[in-house]
Amino acid sequence: MNALTFCKMPFNHRVGWKELQASSPSIPLLVWLVVLPMSLLPPMMLYFAGTHYGDAFMAGFADREWRFITTIIFLAELLSFFIMGWLIHTVVNGTDELSISYQDAYLLAAFAPLPLFASSLALLVPNLLFNVVVILSALVISCSLIYHGLQALCTHKEFDVITISVTYTIMAASALGWGVLFAVIWAY
């Protein structure tokens, strides 16, 4: 799959998804080739920003234990892949209208956070407002990836409201988990 096809996937459930599904990468292969390398990007960028920008980026930013914080974030990202795959499978198959296989659930769990991982490159710019805008934009694109991925990967009876509801449930659980994690880390 090329980069242009991936860029179209958040906006269309027909482009790229079936090709990705047909390649049928195993869950360990997804971890090694997609999740692990991309999960390294946000902790590395956060460590860079925390050790180079200091309080010029945000008040109190320099006084953090960045090695500890970034290690916890990296481990949480890896763990969240497995939790998200399970959550997607459970929520989708908990409805009468939709169905998804474990393989496809983990495929979606691997590709949905990629915009968020890539948004960490915004930390190269020492501007808090710019970073917030980029991260919120990436969150919207990630939500769209989940929605269109569910449309493409699920067997369903054309109940789009159910797909929207399932997407909302998955994103709400994700946001809650990450919110708690970041609150605990920031309190440290």
Q: What is the pLDDT of residue 110?
A: 93
Per-residue pLDDT band at 188 (split at 50, 70, 90): low
Alpha-carbon distance 25 to 170, whole Å?
Answer: 22
Q: Work out the angle between the directed axes of helices 36-52 and 66-93 (0-180°, nearest 10).
A: 140
Letter string b/e over residues 116-154, b meaning 16 or more CB atoms within 10 A of that residue's CB:
bbebbebbeeeeeeebeebbeebbebbbbbbbbbbbbbb
Q: What is the pLDDT of residue 142?
A: 92
H or E element in which residue 77 lies = helix 66-93
- Average pLDDT (98-115) is 91
- Average pLDDT (75-79) is 91
Flag whether pLDDT at 48 surpasses 70. yes
**Could you read off the pLDDT of 145-182 as tens digits, one per residue?**
998 888 888 876 565 788 888 888 898 988 888 888 77
Give the residue among 38, 123, 18 at the shortest CA–CA distance from 78. 38
Flag whether pLDDT at 10 surpasses 90. no
Flag whether pLDDT at 17 surpasses 90. no
Share of the chain above pLDDT 90, in %: 43
Cα angle 168, 173, 178; round to 5? 125
User: Can you tell me which residue has the tokens 């169905």?
Assistant: 99
